[in-house]
Structure 1
């Protein structure tokens, strides 16, 4: 197979997307596929390496250091030259013409939905009803443009359920993975008080304000604690003001996964509390480092945490503070072992294998029809993760 991955809206803080692209690309190449990655950047550039070919297309900044490809025909020119058997899109707006080109050209198309539009827009704008209407209209267009939609959680798939069924577009659930060698338990230094950690982009749609508010609530109750926040983003000043005199330390961006794992491992509890998260790579990275996670009671991140590896509560500071204290009261060795065990259910190898099944299902010679299809049930059950792939027709 020749798989082209198309990434858009990429910036210095888009760590989760970069991690996923790198892990999937490495898996595709290891499986014997040719792999092309198309990304936005400050100038046009082409390189080749162990993980395949990379084409960087000149793209403008759109805020927060992010760049966005706004000329989809330039992507199409690259694809026509490279001749993929399938394309994997992670963009739901500006690259839609690429999906239509794929349909005309006999190339399979897979939409890897890494965010839930209705909740993301609501978190950014505060306009819940308007956001749901806007997202619904775009999703109806998306399911009519691609061959298969891949979601990373049951929660993420909810927004596609009705529109995909009406369009006859398969929706396949494939959980993402974690690097279990890099993210691992480390020896912890003995410290007084409760140590909390939050890792993620400091922008409203990731709910860092809720994590800081939880720490502030614990401090108000007189709990000896500190919260280390790792990440950068446009709302740092707001978070500093929100923290006030509570012991919250903003550590900035960590560019080394191994260093981040050590930081996560040194905490008693990790906070990953966004109720609109469609998956939560940060949750898996904390669990793999042996740190239990407290999350919101709804969202994709909640699906990653069980009663042994963490806790959850309503997305407000008081309920989450209660969950933190409950998790922290468990025996240390038991909660840390449970966290690691939970993460081991999600190796990247399972994700890669499942996505290769999806790409095989949409790739076919251009001489045949472009009827929508998904992998056979035998391929669907081949995933090694204990969370099964579900297919909605």
Structure 2
């Protein structure tokens, strides 16, 4: 197949959307398909995994320049798509660039698969620039719905999120989860790293991900003083400076990748995520695959990812006392951590990118059939 992937976020930035696009490109190249990437990131490589990369003009979001606001020419976008002549257009977490691309694809009669991956409306409520606008969330939803209604198929990362989209009137919605790299494994646990982070044998409680307002990382402050624990934060972003002031005793490891990231995750004893607008939360899945129990809010995709009392705990959104209680419970019971971690590892077996990307290609074919 010939697949055009349109994404607002791409290299050199690194986040959940970028990682999933890279895994899809790897699969397409390995299976002999052809791909084109159209993105809004300055400095993107010219080719990735055999796919040509075309960059459109963009500006950075004030206060968070990693988030790009695309300024695409509809005429040029249509010309690029027409020249490549894809069998299907894949919209990765579409919003800015994705909206223009959806219209261009419709105009060319190209089938569209829209992958819902970011709760844009939820994020809008967490940024000062948009939170002051009372209609920001509904305006964001209006655009998201308009884009997805143009698609032959919308793919949601979990069953819970699929139901939310259907309730918003988005048709032809199916579930496409995310794979997990085999580098995430309990065997990656690093005694030397643990000795450095927990010199007195502390239980390591960690967060991995972007350090940004939508992640509600200020909630981690409620974990201060949980006996015999140390907080570890892996990642970077616009909130890092404020968080280092708020959490002076935490270990900030910065952004990690590959084997270093896998070692850091596997070396944790408890993984914590505080964001309430996660459509999936790949970092939580990587923790589960590493044999680390997860404590997270019962919201969005995390409700499907974490099995309470079996692979971790879910707390009611905003219930910080519940967050602290669940972390304290696991921190004080090594046997329980071990049991939940083993169950977590078992639950993620078989969730390989090869299997998930094979399913995605089947969805591409379904979209082509629908469009005929």
TM-score class normalised by the smaller sequence = 0.7 to 0.9
Provide structure 2 residue ranges, at least 5 long, that are not aligned to the other structure.
Answer: none
Residue by residue, what CA displacement relative to the aligned partner does 1:309-360 show, whole Å, maximum 9, x if unpaired?
2112123332111111223325154333222112224221232122112110
Candidates 127, 152, 157, aligned match of 1:152:
157
Give the aligned partner of residue 291 of structure 1. 292
1:276 aligns with 2:277: yes
Distance 2:300 2:45 in 1: 38
Distance 2:327 2:43 in 1: 46
Ranked by relative contact order (alpha carbons within 8 Å, sequence separation 6 or more), the top structure is 1
Give runs of aligned pairs for residues 88-99 of structure 1, distance below 5 A: 88-90=90-92, 91-99=94-102
* Count of matched residue pairs: 354
Distance 1:321 1:18 in 2: 32
Distance 2:213 2:27 in 1: 32
Give runs of aligned pairs for residues 172-211 of structure 1, distance below 5 A: 172-180=174-182, 182-185=183-186, 186-189=188-191, 191=198, 192-210=201-219
Provide structure 1 residue ranges, at least 5 long, that are not aligned to the other structure.
Answer: 372-393
Residue by residue, what CA displacement relative to the aligned partner does 1:5-59 show, whole Å, maximum 9, x if unpaired?
1111446553212210111111222233211122233369743x64432223443
SS in 1 for 2:97: coil
Structure 1 residue 303: deviation in Å? Answer: 1.3
Give the aligned partner of residue 304 of structure 2. 303
Q: 1:322 to 1:286 in 2, by over 3 A?
A: same
SS in 2 for 1:164: coil
Distance 1:194 1:13 in 2: 32
Contact 2:189 2:264 in 1 (8 A): no
Q: 1:163 to 1:361 in 2, by over 3 A?
A: same
Q: 1:79 to 1:302 in 2, by over 3 A?
A: same
Candidates 316, 339, 353, aligned match of 1:314:
316
Give runs of aligned pairs for residues 257-272 of structure 1, distance below 5 A: 257-272=258-273
Distance 1:296 1:45 in 2: 37
Contact 1:183 1:257 in 2 (8 A): no
Contact 1:116 1:159 in 2 (8 A): no
Give the aligned partner of residue 51 of structure 2. 52
Give the aligned partner of residue 86 of structure 2. 84
Residue by residue, what CA displacement relative to the aligned partner does 1:157-206 show, whole Å, maximum 9, x if unpaired?
244213436xxx301111111102x1111245375121111111111112
Give the aligned partner of residue 117 of structure 2. 114
Q: TM-score, normalised by structure 2?
A: 0.86
Residue by residue, what CA displacement relative to the aligned partner does 1:54-106 show, whole Å, maximum 9, x if unpaired?
22344333343323431142332221111101111122233323212212222
SS in 2 for 1:107: coil
Residue by residue, what CA displacement relative to the aligned partner does 1:252-291 show, whole Å, maximum 9, x if unpaired?
111x221011011111101112111110010111112221
Distance 1:178 1:128 in 2: 37
Candidates 230, 234, 244, aligned match of 1:230:
234
Candidates 237, 243, 249, aligned match of 2:247:
243
Q: 1:353 to 1:86 in 2, by over 3 A?
A: same
Q: TM-score, normalised by structure 1?
A: 0.82
Candidates 142, 149, 165, aligned match of 2:147:
142
Contact 1:193 1:225 in 2 (8 A): yes
Contact 1:143 1:164 in 2 (8 A): no
